[in-house]
Chain A
Amino acid sequence: MLYQPWPWYVSGPLIALIMAILILMGKKFGMSSNLETFCSMGGAGKFTDYFKIDVKSKRWNLLVVLGSAIGGFLGAHWLSPNPAVDISPKTVEKLQVLGFESAGKAYLPTELFSLESLADPKVWIVLLIAGFLVGFGTRYAGGCTSGHAISGLSNLQRPSLIAVIGFFIGGLIMVHLLFPLIFGS
């Protein structure tokens, strides 16, 4: 059971529990603000006051980050004898058209996330731009999936609903309009 992929109706409620525990500890569930904390630690305060924050007050969240990396290690190396993600056959078909032969056979596409894939400079550019959009977008919107889609919507915040609608506008444009341009031959 533990070694199989966990079903949504187990994972979703557990995520809500994690959020509630953090609230009960006087904190909040939000992963993207850590990006700012890292910038501050790296000396970004020299460039703009926005990054002049008290890093000590954010330490708890960096520990959550450390933990989540440990969790990723445990999940991948101890709890997942078979890493293949059983995505829908329709999805596999669409991805094969785009050149993702690893669809349905791996946890992440080897075309983007294997060391061999890094021989192609295009992969570096794709990953760097993707990350940039994540970092820029999440700070502009003031939150990511955890901060808006889970925490904000759980607190019935209209701004979070607008942000989540934005997440979907962006995601749908990327997958339906831009993927064929980026990955199609």
Chain B
Amino acid sequence: MKNLAYIIIGTFLGVVLYKSEAASWFRIYEMFQFDSFHMYGIIGSALALGVVLVYLIKKSKIKSFSGETIIIPDKEKSFTRYILGGTLFGLGWALAGACPGPIYILVGAGYWPIIIVLVGALLGAFVYGILRSRLPH
């Protein structure tokens, strides 16, 4: 039952990101050119509601659907890993025109060359795992 719920949530996410065109390479390029409000509107309105919802969830101390205490962990404090990792990710995001969610969505949509991007992403995650102890964090 719960498994089905995750699949349905994912399906909904896939439809939303596809239909909002957040999974379109063109929209990502347009965003980095500051030529349209569209992507900023998506991220901005998601954040506006997201901040309120996360605040309410924390403040109300509401339990999860299965009755457990909800813990939203803070991100580990650092600067280096976020700025360096973030910049590398940004370079890839703009070139591929897709971040991890849209990569899976576009595989489903049948844009087969995106599989090369997915293979690259898996390779990148693997190489990070190998080099991790030698990188500044």
Question: Measuring CB to CB, which residues of chain A are less than 8 angstroms from any residue of chain B?
Answer: 5-26, 28, 31-32, 34-36, 38-39, 42, 44, 47-48, 50-51, 60-61, 63-77, 79-80, 85, 87-88, 90-91, 94-95, 103-104, 106-109, 112-115, 117-118, 123-124, 126-146, 148-160, 162-176, 178, 182
Please name the residue on chain A nearest to B105 by beta carbon: A72
7 A–B pairs (Cβ distance < 8 Å), ordered by A:
A5-B21, A6-B20, A64-B7, A90-B33, A106-B26, A133-B92, A154-B50
Contacts of A171 in B (CB 8 A): 28, 31-32, 90-91, 93-94
B53 touches A113 (CB 8 A): no
- A107 CA to B17 CA, complexed, in Å: 12
Q: Taking CB as reference atom, which chain A residue is nearest B38?
A: A8
Which residues from 1 to 57 on chain B have a C-beta closer than 8 Å to any C-beta of chain A? 2-3, 5-33, 35-39, 41-51, 53-54, 57
Contacts A44-B129, A80-B19, A108-B26 supplied; 11 other A-B pairs, CB < 8 Å: A18-B9, A23-B70, A24-B57, A72-B18, A123-B113, A134-B121, A135-B123, A159-B78, A159-B82, A168-B32, A168-B90
Q: Is the CB of A134 within 8 A of B89?
A: yes
On whether the beta carbons of A67 and B119 are closer than 8 Å, the reply is: no
Q: Which residues of B contact A7 (CB under 8 A)?
A: 20, 41
Chain B residues lying within 8 Å of A146, measured Cβ to Cβ, are 99-101
- The reply to whether A170 and B116 form a contact with Cβ atoms under 8 Å apart is no
Q: Is the CB of A131 within 8 A of B90?
A: no
Check A170–B92 contact: CB distance below 8 A.
yes
With a cutoff of 8 Å between Cβ atoms, the chain A residues found around residue B135 in the complex are 140
Query: Closest residue of chain B to A106, judged by CB?
Result: B26
A35 engages B82 (CB within 8 Å): no
In contact, B65 and A26 (Cβ under 8 angstroms):
yes
Q: Are B11 and A169 in contact (CB under 8 A)?
A: no
Judge whether B109 and A131 touch: CB under 8 Å.
no
- CB of A167 within 8 A of CB of B89, answer yes
Shortest B8–chain A CB gap in Å is 6
User: How distant is A145 from chain B, measured CB to nearest CB, in Å?
Assistant: 4
Provide the residues of chain B in CB contact with A21, threshold 8 Å.
9
Taken together as a complex, chains A and B put the C-alpha atoms of A23 and B127 apart, in Å, by 30
Q: Looking at the complex, which one of A6, A31, A87, A131 makes contact with B96 (CB distance below 8 Å)? A: A131
A69 to chain B: which residues have CB within 8 Å?
Answer: 10, 14, 104-105, 107-108
Docked CA distance A84–B17 (Å): 15
Residues of A within 8 A of B111 (CB): 107-108, 113
> B131 to nearest A CB, angstroms?
9
A64 to B132 alpha-carbon distance, docked (Å): 27
Query: In this complex, what residue of A is CB-closest to B119?
Result: A131
Interface residues of B in 61-92 (CB under 8 A from A): 62, 64-66, 68, 70, 72, 74-79, 81-92
Most buried by B among A36, A94, A112, A114: A112
Beyond A71-B18, A90-B35, A109-B26, whether A13 also contacts B89 by CB under 8 A is no
A122 to chain B, nearest CB (A): 12
> Which of A48, A109, A123, A133 gathers most chain B CB within 10 Å?
A133
